[in-house]
């Protein structure tokens, strides 16, 4: 049965990480990338009100240079960013329309739902507002992007069956990761009959340079294929996908993506086995076995961000990218109003509550040293 976006090609141009020159977005290189993308037959562009300079850049590189029916343009509403009133939240659409230079968006997303952020969309009744804007013709299709648990996704989709699609973080590394639970989120969306737009298929670029044992699996299977190509093809092979967003930052990255996605129709059985082998290699790397159940957080007298610290430490272990791991820790701990691992008083209550029997106190100390010393 046909679904929304079925005929859209399965590579989308994510506009969050556009090329930079002299501290600003490189408009000429962005134009070159847009030209390459459209010439290859791809049509989906993804920006956001919250991506500094992105909507303005795509106006110059795409909207002012091509007929409106040559492409689909998506943007997002982040009601939880510095919005104290409904008017402030809803004003983002008019700002986006003006910055992008369009009369309507093909896809409009309530952005980054999950945890405390969902409450803003509920309190401002953004759900009914976005339907009004759809009726006015300023929006063609309405959905939301999401970063949280499958249980919360289930609640939102049950409460809002009118949403037409969901955007989810999906890649082979996070597929069965207990901290991300990509597979469960994907299956929840599909159970509700929602097509999926995939974000972070290369995990912010980290799967372009995965751990050496994983890289060896891919190079043995195809010495000429980039590691990023395996990640994007994994995502693009899932059923019910509108498109897979790749946040490309150079013409070289664009050329690589186009080289394997232009005629892509799905992974072969042999290629699926390669992905399975890569996932098996990832699973061999010793990680802190935290499932982010957060039972520890319920009993911690200080309010330490235990699971966030462990997620960041596991990222450091897997990808050896301290800057990315620290950014993750800052978001999952300080960004959620929790205390850093260095504030632990070593009372041990967390370990009594942990169903995985993790030596939490020692792991917190180890993680803090690895991230900050």
pLDDT tens per residue across span 25-74: 999 999 999 999 999 999 999 999 999 999 999 999 999 999 999 999 99
SS3 state at 300: coil
- The pLDDT tens digits for 83-142 are 999 999 999 999 999 999 999 999 999 999 998 899 999 999 999 999 999 999 999 999
Q: What is the mean pLDDT of residues 320-343?
A: 94
Over pLDDT 90: what percentage of the chain? 89
Residue 122, CA distances (Å) to 90, 273, 295 in order = 13, 43, 27
For residue 234, the model assigns a pLDDT of 98
For residue 291, the model assigns a pLDDT of 80
- The pLDDT tens digits for 192-206 are 999 999 999 998 888
Q: What is the mean pLDDT of residues 323-329?
A: 94
Phi first, then psi: what are they for 140, rounded to 5°?
-90, -45
Both tokens of residue 85? 């009133």
Contacts of 175 (CB under 8 A, 6+ apart): 182, 183, 279
- The pLDDT tens digits for 207-217 are 999 999 999 99
Residue 137, CA distances (Å) to 102, 141, 192, 249, 272 in order = 12, 10, 26, 32, 42
Dmax (CA) of the chain: 64
Q: Which CATH class is domain 11-278?
A: alpha beta
Q: Using pLDDT thresholds of 50, 70 and 90, give the confidence band for residue 179.
A: confident
Selection from 48, 29, 31, 36 nearest residue 11 by Cα: 36
Residue 14, CA distances (Å) to 118, 139, 198, 234 in order = 23, 19, 10, 17
Q: Is the pLDDT of residue 1 over 90?
A: no
For residue 316, the model assigns a pLDDT of 94
Contacts of 232 (CB under 8 A, 6+ apart): 11, 201, 202, 244, 246, 257, 260, 261
Please give the DSSP secondary-structure letter assigned to residue 73: E
Selection from 120, 121, 102 nearest residue 163 by Cα: 121
Sequence ranges of the domains in the chain: 11-278, 295-372
For residue 317, the model assigns a pLDDT of 92
Q: What is the mean pLDDT of residues 326-355?
A: 93
């Amino acid at each position: 049965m046909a679904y929304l976006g079925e005929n859209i090609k399965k590579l989308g141009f994510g506009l969050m990480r556009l090329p930079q020159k002299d501290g600003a977005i490189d408009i000429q290189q962005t134009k070159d990338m847009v030209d390459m993308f459209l010439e290859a037959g791809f049509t989906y562009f993804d920006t956001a009100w919250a991506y500094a300079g992105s909507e303005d850049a795509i106006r110059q590189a795409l909207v002012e240079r091509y007929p409106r029916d040559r492409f689909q343009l998506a943007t997002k509403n982040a009601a939880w960013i510095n919005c104290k009133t409904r008017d402030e939240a809803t004003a983002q659409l008019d700002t986006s329309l003006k910055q992008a230079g369009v009369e309507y968006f093909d896809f409009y997303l309530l952005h980054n739902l999950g945890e405390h952020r969902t409450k803003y969309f509920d309190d401002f009744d953004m759900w009914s507002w976005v339907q009004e804007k759809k009726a006015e013709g300023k929006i063609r299709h309405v959905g939301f992007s999401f970063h949280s648990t499958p249980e919360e996704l289930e609640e939102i989709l049950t409460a809002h069956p009118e949403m037409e699609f969901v955007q989810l973080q999906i890649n082979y590394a996070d597929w069965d990761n207990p901290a991300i639970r990509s597979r469960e989120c994907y299956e929840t969306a599909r159970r509700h009959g929602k097509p999926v737009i995939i974000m972070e298929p290369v995990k912010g670029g980290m799967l372009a340079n995965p751990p050496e044992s994983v890289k060896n699996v891919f190079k043995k299977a195809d010495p000429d294929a980039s590691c990023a190509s395996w990640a994007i093809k994994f995502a693009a092979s899932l059923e019910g996908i509108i498109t897979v967003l790749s946040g490309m930052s150079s013409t070289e990255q664009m050329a690589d993506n186009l080289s394997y996605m232009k005629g892509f129709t799905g992974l072969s059985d042999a290629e699926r086995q390669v992905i399975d082998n890569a996932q098996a290699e990832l699973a061999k790397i010793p990680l802190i076995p935290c499932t982010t159940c957060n039972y520890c957080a319920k009993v911690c007298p200080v309010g330490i961000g235990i699971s966030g610290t462990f997620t960041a430490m596991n990222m450091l272990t897997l990808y050896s990218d301290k800057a990315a791991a620290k950014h993750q820790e800052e978001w999952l701990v300080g960004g959620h109003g929790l205390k850093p691992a260095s504030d632990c008083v070593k009372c041990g209550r967390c370990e009594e509550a942990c169903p995985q029997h993790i030596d939490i106190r020692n792991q917190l100390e180890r993680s803090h040293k690895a991230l900050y010393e």
